[in-house]
Amino acid sequence: MKENQLTQKEKNPNFEITVERLHSKAQQWISEIEFIKIEQNFLKELLTEHILELCTTHNFEKAKLLLNGIEHETNLGNKLIESIKEHKINLALLLENIYLKKEDTFRNNHKLLKMEVKNYIENFKYIKEQVFELVLLIMRNEKEKKLLSK
């Protein structure tokens, strides 16, 4: 190689991140999404537990929207997990020196998946916050009703 030619790593700093690290990160995303699925089930149970209290308030529509949002995010999470698993397979093949010519493509795909996972987590955090606020409001109202009835 001539001295004035740059290596791929020098041209593209993304190549500093090893394929092993990308593979590990993809596995971490799957673990995070799997945990979020557990949280989503909990939030659905939490909302349905308080659905009777919600039926008598203007918050019933909000609860229905949140339940629909959780269901939508659950479906997105399942699709995202499948995409990440496919990506992990490609990275594993890359680790075995198969698909070397496609490394740039896999790294770009990793960046896109990273953004999707970040957005997915942010959306879930927003829904979780909304569910907690709604259930907290219901619990406070119930507590107030109990105190007034005494």
Residue 3 has pLDDT above 70, yes or no: no
Tens digit of pLDDT for each residue in 93-150?
A: 888 887 778 888 989 999 999 999 999 999 999 999 999 998 888 888 878 877 888 7
If you average pLDDT over residues 90-95, what whole number do you get? Answer: 88
**Which pLDDT belongs to residue 97?**
82
Angle between helices 103-149 and 19-49 (to 10 degrees): 20
- CB-based contacts of 43: which residues, under 8 Å, 6+ apart? 66, 70, 127, 128, 131
The helix/strand/coil state of 59 is coil
The residue with greater pLDDT, 94 or 17, is 94
Give the pTM: 0.79
The helix/strand/coil state of 71 is helix
Tens digit of pLDDT for each residue in 19-44?
A: 899 999 999 999 999 999 999 999 99
The b-or-e profile of 79-116 (16+ CB within 10 A means b, else e) is: ebeebbeebbebbeebeeeeeeeeeeebbebbeebeeb
CA distance 26 to 88: 7
The pair phi, psi for residue 123, each rounded to 5°, is -60, -40
The residue with greater pLDDT, 137 or 75, is 75
